[in-house]
Structure 1
Amino acid sequence: MHPINDILEPGMLVRNPEHPDWGLGQVQSVIDGRITVNFRDAGKVVINGGRVELMPVFES
């Protein structure tokens, strides 16, 4: 898993830099490197944390 993904936990806000059109997302779960995120414009997506580095958003 990418190091920045190690800090993610449910409730945190993130963006996927590979898909900026998905908008802001909220982490639902992080289990065994699989990160489930509910994105505003893409819905619920399960992401492989070893392949995609999500960017935490601390201000919305």
Structure 2
Amino acid sequence: MSDLNSLLEPGMLVCHPDRPDWGTGQVQSNVGGRVTVNFQDAGKVVIDGTRIELILVFESK
């Protein structure tokens, strides 16, 4: 798995590859491989960036 998650910064929009039902999320923080994202339909979730590669979204859905 490439380490694209390390490029994520607060304010960026992402989707979880295995949970499209969560909707688009906004990155809140990215510290030590742990990415905190506030998803439209799932709320605030902490993602282990070493296990899940989030998908960058370039426009809100």
What TM-score comes out, normalization by structure 2 length? 0.92
Give 5+ residue unaligned stretches, structure 2.
none
Matches within 5 A, 1:39-54: 39-54=39-54
How many residues are treated as equivalent by the alignment?
60
Matches within 5 A, 1:1-16: 2-16=2-16
- Cα RMSD, aligned residues only: 1.2
Partner of 2:56: 56
- Give aligned-pair identity as a percent: 67
Q: Is the 8 Å Cα contact of residues 2 and 49 (structure 1) preserved in structure 2? A: no
* Partner Cα separation in structure 1 for residue 2 and residue 19 of structure 2: 17
Q: Is the 8 Å Cα contact of residues 10 and 26 (structure 1) preserved in structure 2? A: yes
Give 5+ residue unaligned stretches, structure 1.
none
> After the TM superposition, which segments of 4 or more aligned residues of structure 1 sit over 6 Å from their partners?
none
Partner of 2:29: 29
